[in-house]
Structures are given as C-alpha cells and as structure tokens.
Structure 1
C-alpha cells in the first residue's frame, strides 16, 4: 500500500492513483488548481501539494465530522495535537487494561455523537479522528479494532501520535494553498467555473460515495437519485474543465454515464473489502477533452 500524507484512514482512498493523476495532470498541462468535491481523507490533494504538482487545491466534504478535522488542522493545529497527545495509549502499547482502553473508546464514541453536528468543533474533529484510527477499516460507525475481546489485535495498533502530529504540521504549513469548504457537492459543481481563474488549468477529481457499499462505509452517502443528479451535473460541466470520475462497478452507474466517450474500467484493492480482498473492479469516466492514458499499475480497459 502506498504511503499517505493524510491523517485519516479512508475506505476507498485513492492514494493508489497518485502517479496516474500526476501523469494526467502533465498530459493536460495542468499545474494550477486541483479540486476534490468529495475529499474525504484527501490523501491525493495533500500529496500533490507537498510535491508541488499543483499550485493550490480545493478540498470539499459535506460531512460535518470529516470537514471538522480539516478545519481544525488548518485553524487549530496545536489544540488538536494536544488532544491527540492526551490519549492514554499509542500504537507502541498501553499501560492500561484492555477494558480501560475499550471504556475510553466508548467515551470517544459518546463525545462524537454529541459533537458531530458542529463542523467547527475541535471536539468533533478529535473524536472523529480517533474513531477513524481506532475502528475497523477506519469506518466511523464501525466497531473497534480487535473487537470487544481484544485477544488478537489491540485497539491502538493504527494510532501513532508522532506520525499524526507530524502530518498535521505538514498540512498546516500548506494552508495558504488550500481552499476548504463544507458544501453539498451537487450544488458545488455549478459554482466551480466561477471560482477558478483558469478553467483549462484546473483538474477535478470526482470520487463520490460508493454506489453499492456507500451506506456501510460513510456517514454521508448517496441514494440512487443523488447519483443520477450528480451524473447529470458532471456531464454538463464547462467544456474547458478537465475532470474524471471514479466509481465502484455497477450496472446502474454504467447506465448513468453511458453517453460519455471516455469510459474505462480499472482495478484497485481496498482494505474494507473483507470478503473479497484483492482486485475490486472500478469505473473511471473522463470528460471529452481530458487526456488520460494507462500509467504504471493503472491499466485502463
């Protein structure tokens, strides 16, 4: 698995596409603005910024809890790091009993339930980040790593204080090049042409919630009508804008994007795919004027 510069573990995160996206940016002569309307863990845009592949990124997430993490990283990094460092265990071990650690997890879950409606709350950010690091596959609504018995794997194996704080510092130093919003992605799309200074020097990566498993993986997910409305909005985008869309493979999504010229299938593996680990088929769609090609381990078919 590729390393990610995001503090979040995200089901279906697209860091694996980094080299492919870099090549796509070069193919389309884009080094200006990179946009993710469904940013989630935002591993790709952060890595693009760190490596100076683009001048600026626009990350958006409609989920109040996910947004709160990014907001706190950009505005209250020290407070967030202090909360992280106050946690009574780390990936290296714990001086407390398994029962005490699970009690702490329950307290974090209760805190999240209380604060999750406030996108500006640092306690929302902290509790969401903790559940992401402590839960199976990073699923916020999921159960703790190791289960209630903690007899094989411990709850803290994915929680590294030092690494998390370092990532927060790296991202915060880039804050002047990051635009962060908490918008409904469907409504956001129509505003993009007016928000970017150079449409041809802009690249948009739409990575919506999964069609089949979205409700099981994310706190904010789409129903069929949402996916249909999104497809219609995307395909009416300004011709000058470069964009791609990725989706889990399904007949319904194939029909929604059937009129596109650039339709492909590629394969990628995901940790949350417990029953079928390995290669999971995905769709990749692109605007007519966006040049894309197979690159490294990403083969378009």
Structure 2
C-alpha cells in the first residue's frame, strides 16, 4: 500500500467526536473535504446548523481543511456537552476519569440529564455524554447497553473506553478557540452564516422517517417545509444538505441537484441506508456524479 493510499485511508477514518450518533456523518469527511477544496479557500468557516455528533466538522478542522467550525444544536443537553468540552476541558476530563460504569450510576446520570440546570454546562454536558456512551445506539432516551439487569451480550461499559475518549477530548481542547458553539434554531444559523463570504454550510436535519425515535428535537412536516423554504431562497449561497432517501426530498428540493449515496447506519441494528445529498446552485461539483438527478 502506497503512502498516499494509507494517508487517504487514515483521513477517511479520522474520528474525533466523543459522541455516538445514529446515522453520524463523520464518514462523509472525504466527500465534504472535496467539495470544500473546490468551492472555498483555506480559511473556510464550516457550519453545521444541526450538529449532533459533529464528526465531519471536527475531522475537517483537525485536518486543516477549514479554519473555523460552527457547532449548533437546539437540544440544550447536546449544546451543554459541546460548551463544556470546549470551555471546561479539564473539568470534563476529570469527570471522565472518575466515571463509574454501573447501572446505579447510569440512573444517577439520567436523573441529572432530566433535571439539571441547563446553564450548568459541565454537569448537564457530562450527563449527556455518559448516557450517549452507555445507552443502546447512543440514543439519549434509550436504555443502557446490556439492559438494567446487565444480562445482554454487551455490558454498560462496552462503548466507554476512557483512554480513547480522553484523547479525543484532548484533541478538541487543542482546537477549542477555533470552535463556535451555539444553541439556536438551525434556520437562524443558516440565515446568519449564509451571509459570510467564506462559509460552507452542511445541513443534516432530523430525517423524515424514524426521526422521533432518534432525535429529541424531531421535525414535523411544517419544520421540513420551513427549512426547504430557507435553503431554496438561498440557492445562490454555499450549502449542501443530507436527508433520508424519501419522496419528500424531491418534492421540497425539486429544483436543486440531488445525489443518492450509501451510508452505514447503526441505530438499533447495523445496516446500509440510501440517503440523499442536495446541492445549492453555487456548489461546484468537481467529480462526475453518475447518480445525480
């Protein structure tokens, strides 16, 4: 294997986010990198209005593809996590080192998650992280891996490798001054950053199917339509969008270029799903896209 091939493989596997997210888009790093290189200078600002695990954002920042990233999530618990790991990395790391991986502790952290002051970013953020790493598929409103009786094939600590997670937190802390964390409506973030000349927006909203079981801030039909209105009105700005491959996408974005791609999906069971990437009119596609429609 050549050095170039190894480097390309390593970049595709660059995994920095400490969060597990259903349908996480870290695997799109290579595709997003290609689009950013073709459409934005080296000082690009990469924006995720519906960040979740922000896997692609962190990989693009750490690899030097973009100068700054904007992580936005309307969920106050997810926002608290990102705020804590960027503003209080030492305190967060200490909580991680001391974490006890038992069902009793899981119950305690769940109670914190449900009742903590949303402005106590460290406490709420760590509880969110704890549940994300110990719950089945990382779903925050799910149950612990292995069940409360811990009789499953995997136990509560199966996805909680402290050494690996501490290293990911350390990397994030190195880039913290280049990370903007927001707790706003995604549409407001799109409107704000569409006006920045160097911005590249990647919108990955809650999907049409099964959204209610995967996200705490699910979209209804009206929310999907509002987002489409916002983006279609800004077709001359720099943005891409991903959705599940359902007819609704063609109905809402019929005037935009769209491409179907396969993505590994790990909520409840491992599978491959076809999804759709939608491109604004300004995005230049530098590769032939045989599946474009």
Q: TM-score scaled to structure 1, two decimals?
A: 0.87
| Distance change (3 Å), C-alpha of 1:159 and 1:258 | same
Instruction: Report what 1:235 is aligned to.
Output: 232
Instruction: Report what 1:206 is aligned to.
Output: 203
| Distance change (3 Å), C-alpha of 1:213 and 1:229 | same
Instruction: Report what 2:22 is aligned to.
Output: 11
Cα pair 1:266 1:284 within 8 Å, conserved: yes
Cα pair 2:190 2:201 within 8 Å, conserved: no
Cα pair 2:77 2:125 within 8 Å, conserved: yes
Cα pair 1:67 1:119 within 8 Å, conserved: no
> CA shift at 1:227, angstroms?
0.5
1:263 aligns with 2:264: no
Residues in 2 aligned to 1:10 and 1:204: alpha-carbon distance in whole angstroms? 20
1:284 to 263, 277, 280: 277
| Distance change (3 Å), C-alpha of 1:294 and 1:105 | farther
Q: TM-score scaled to structure 2, two decimals?
A: 0.89
Residues in 1 aligned to 2:127 and 2:166: alpha-carbon distance in whole angstroms? 15
Cα pair 1:30 1:202 within 8 Å, conserved: no
Cα pair 1:139 1:217 within 8 Å, conserved: yes
SS in 2 for 1:263: strand
Structure 1 unpaired stretches of 5+: 90-100
> CA shift at 1:53, angstroms?
0.5
| Distance change (3 Å), C-alpha of 1:172 and 1:148 | same
Cα pair 1:294 1:300 within 8 Å, conserved: no
Instruction: Report what 2:174 is aligned to.
Output: 173
Equivalent runs, 1:128-143 vs 2, <5 Å = 128-143=128-143
Residues in 1 aligned to 2:106 and 2:80: alpha-carbon distance in whole angstroms? 19
Structure 2 unpaired stretches of 5+: 1-11
Instruction: Report what 1:102 is aligned to.
Output: 103
Instruction: Report what 2:6 is aligned to.
Output: none
Q: Deviations over 1:105-139 (max 9, x none)?
A: 11111111111x60542110010000000001100
> Number of paired residues?
279
Equivalent runs, 1:107-186 vs 2, <5 Å = 107-115=108-116, 118-151=118-151, 152-186=153-187
Residues in 2 aligned to 1:257 and 1:30: alpha-carbon distance in whole angstroms? 27
Cα pair 1:37 1:61 within 8 Å, conserved: yes
> CA shift at 1:148, angstroms?
2.6
SS in 2 for 1:190: helix
| Distance change (3 Å), C-alpha of 1:82 and 1:189 | same
1:22 to 33, 40, 44: 33
| Distance change (3 Å), C-alpha of 1:202 and 1:83 | same
> CA shift at 1:299, angstroms?
7.1
Q: Deviations over 1:35-88 (max 9, x none)?
A: 111111111111111110011111111110011011011111111111111112
Instruction: Report what 2:3 is aligned to.
Output: none
**CA-based RMSD:** 1.9
Cα pair 1:68 1:125 within 8 Å, conserved: yes
